[in-house]
Structure formats: C-alpha cells, structure tokens
Amino acid sequence: GRPGRWSRSLLRSVAHGAVRASQVERIATGTMNFDPKHVNLGISPLSLRIARAHDFADTVALRRRNYMVLHDQLANLTPPLFDSLPDGVCPLFYPLRVKHKTEMLQRLQSTKIGAIDFWRDGHPACDYRSFPETTELRSSIIEIPCHQDITAQTMSRMAKAVQNAVREIEQPVLSGLA
C-alpha cells in the first residue's frame, strides 16, 4: 500500500545518497556484458559477514523441497525440463515449460506468483538459428520461484495456482496435439 511505497522510496533515496557520498564505483551485475577489469572484484566485509552466518545446508534443503513440490504436482500437466533433481543441486527456480508464455506469465502474476520470463533475450551477436534448442527454451520456459523463504503452505498454494493456470491455458493446446 501507500505506506509501503513511501517507505521503499525513502529507503532507496537514503541508499542512493549513501552510495554517492561513499564515492564507491557501482558495478552493474546481471547484464549481458563482461568487463575483464572487474574479474578480481571481491565481496564486501558486510556481505562476507552475512554469508558466513548463513546456514547453506538449510537453504539447499528448503529449495530442493520447494522444487520437488512443484515437480511432483506439475510433471503430469506439462513435461518437466528435468526428470529429477540430482544430489547437490540447489535450484533457484522451477523451470515451467509452456506454450503460451505471455498469457501464463500474466495469469500467474495476477495470482501474486512472482513468475519470471526466463532468459528471453540473447546476445545480438549470436545467431539464434544456430541454436534451436536454446531458442525453444527462451520461448517456452517460465521461472516459478522455489527459494528458501517460501513456506510449505505457500508452496502448496502456488502449486495449485500453477496447476489451474496450466489446465486452463495449456491443456487445450496439449490435448489437441495428441
């Protein structure tokens, strides 16, 4: 609501001011560009302290549990990208394969599921025709969150919402292919 938006705006403003005052060079992450001069950047002392205090085994277990809730409840509706979750894998999201990506994203986001359009854009220098499997993934995969902060109850609610959306949007297409 309004108080939350105001608080967030204030916090962002204070954070941006602190960064400007510290004269720290900001390095963009999550971009399609790699700058070799940034290869030796290290973690900040505060981030290192937070990381050392974190229970990574618990995070892995929770993410795996959440992933498997989605896998177990969705595999019969839409073919999973992976048949199993190998030991040691710590998933960030469940890759949901769909035919109607835009419609599915809108539906899921309208039910408050933070679904994301997975890896939509490629690098302009890459000829997409040379990599048809990658092109198919870009056009059909939606990220369904399964991170460690999602409770079992919320995961069940999410799985049901995704099931309903898949049945309503995807099933007519999938059954028409049989």
pLDDT in tens, 53-86: 999 999 999 999 999 999 999 999 998 999 899 9
Q: What is the DSSP string of 103-124?
A: HHHHHHHHTT---EETT----T
Judged against a pLDDT cut of 90, whether residue 105 lies above it is answered with: yes
Question: 50-77: buried (b, 16+ CB within 10 Å) or exposed (e) per residue?
Answer: eeeeeeeeeeeebbbebbbbbbebbeeb
Judged against a pLDDT cut of 70, whether residue 178 lies above it is answered with: no
Average of per-residue pLDDT across 139-147: 94
142: tokens are 């939606």
The more confident residue out of 95 and 37 is 95
> Residue 93: which of 152, 77, 85, 6 has the closest Cα?
85
Mean pLDDT of the chain: 88
What is the pLDDT confidence band of residue 95, given thresholds at 50, 70 and 90?
very high
| pTM score, whole prediction | 0.73
Q: Which amino acid is at 107?
A: R
HSE-up (13 A, CA, CB side) for residue 132 = 0
